[in-house]
Amino acid sequence: MLTAPPSLKVRAFAKINLTLDVFSRRADGYHGLASVMQAISLHDTLTLTRREEPGIGFTCAALDGSDVPADETNLAYRAALSAFQAASEAGVGIDSGVTIHLEKRIPSQAGLGGGSSDAAAALLSVNSLFGLKLSVETLHRCAAALGSDVPFFLTGGTATARGRGENLTALPDMPPCWLVVVKPEESVSTGWAYTQLDAVVDRASHRATKRMEEALRTQDNERMLAFASNDFELPVFMHFPRLAWLHDELRMAGALTAHLCGSGSALYGTAPDEAAARRIAAHFTGRYPHVATARTLSRAESDPLGGNELS
């Protein structure tokens, strides 16, 4: 009897930034930052299947029809290749390959970390599917080389990212919270956002991350809402008035708070409960290209290999 080749189907979750403090440019050309990052239930899906031929086969289907690279430039492909290379360097021989199919639901160029999350999920999945037994340190090194946000998605949940984003501190799980995520047609380049932020005369960071960490440690919901902030909102809202209006629309539709996701262009609004989130989302559905309800995830729930059912 023929048996199906071993395969693994995993979810790669998006993130929001509860805080995003951007400091001055460093000597290496990167900006220092401090951000409390939070995994949310909006996700892509990766299906990995072992095959006899060596190498990596890769396909991608963007459910919204957006143009997502389906070749070796995709971060998920690069992550799988990185895992194989790390195994080879550790003396682990691999005589077979893998086929990866990526279903994209997280919009691109939105600040939601979709590509980075796909990369982390691919790293963890190849390590598991092939029994590579790569160490946590090796996986983190591979993740950091792929992108500043990728290390966060190895563990997910709630965490502070510092430095370029690769220095992580786990935090207590955020109390469950429902969100509305809206991505307009506009896209914001991260490089452009940093340049515009640097051009703001006498700008000062919100420096809200330490206060948010304390609110999370004490599980103070009111302070969590009050301390949420994003330094990129100043230049992005200035240059993209429609995004500033979307922020106001979210609040007028009933969101308790509304903030930019990363450097944009998506925004998220926090809702009192699931029913409110769905009512708010209905206000934007059909008027913006990407509208979704989501909820915050615990560290256990956001593990791509965890297999937890989400409501």
**Residue 275 placed within a domain:** yes
3-state secondary structure of 228: coil
Beta pairing partners, 267: 182, 260
Q: Is residue 308 part of a domain?
A: no
pLDDT of residue 69: 84
Output the pLDDT for position 204.
Answer: 84
Q: Which of 15, 104, 118, 173 is catalytic?
A: 15
Instruction: Give pLDDT tens digits for 127-163.
Output: 999 999 999 999 999 999 999 999 999 999 999 999 8
How many domains is the chain partitioned into structurally?
A: 2
The answer to whether residue 306 sits within a structural domain is no
Which of 192-201, 245-254, 296-305 comes out lowest in average pLDDT? 192-201
> What three-state secondary structure class fits 268?
strand
Residue 287, domain member (yes or no) = yes
Q: What average pLDDT score do residues 284-297 get? A: 97
Residue 178 near residue 289, CB atoms below 8 Å: no
Of 21, 44, 118, 149, the catalytic one is 149
Residue in the structure block whose two tokens are 């963890």 = 124
Task: Say whether pTM exceeds 0.75.
Answer: yes
Q: Is 15 a catalytic residue?
A: yes
Specify the pLDDT at position 67: 72
The label of the residue with tokens 């510092």 reads 162
47 and 157 assigned to the same domain: yes
Indicate whether 121 and 205 sit together in one domain: no
Residue 32 lies in a domain: yes
- Does residue 310 fall inside a structural domain? no
Query: Which H or E run contains 134?
Result: none
Q: Which domain holds residue 234?
A: 178-295
> At 284, is the secondary structure helix, strand, or coil?
helix
| 111 and 19 co-located in one domain | yes
- The two tokens of residue 264 are 């944009």
In this structure, the number of other CB atoms found within 10 A of the CB of residue 257 comes to 18
Q: CATH number for the domain including 20?
A: 3.30.230.10
Kindly write down the DSSP assignment for every residue of 90-144, as one continuous string: TT-----EEEEEEEE-SPSSSSS-HHHHHHHHHHHHHHHHTT----HHHHHHHHH
Tell me how far apart the terminal alpha carbons of the chain are, to the nearest angstrom: 37
CB 211 within 8 A of CB 226: no
Which ranges of 221-306 would DSSP assign to H, the alpha helix? 221-227, 233-239, 241-252, 274-284
Backbone angles phi, psi at 156, to 5 degrees: 65, -145
- The pLDDT of residue 4 is 55
Place of tokens 């993740």: 143
Strand partners, 258: 269
Structure token digits, residue 297: 């995830």
d(CA 233, CA 239): 10
pLDDT, tens digit, 9 for 90 and up, residues 5-28: 699 999 999 999 999 999 977 767
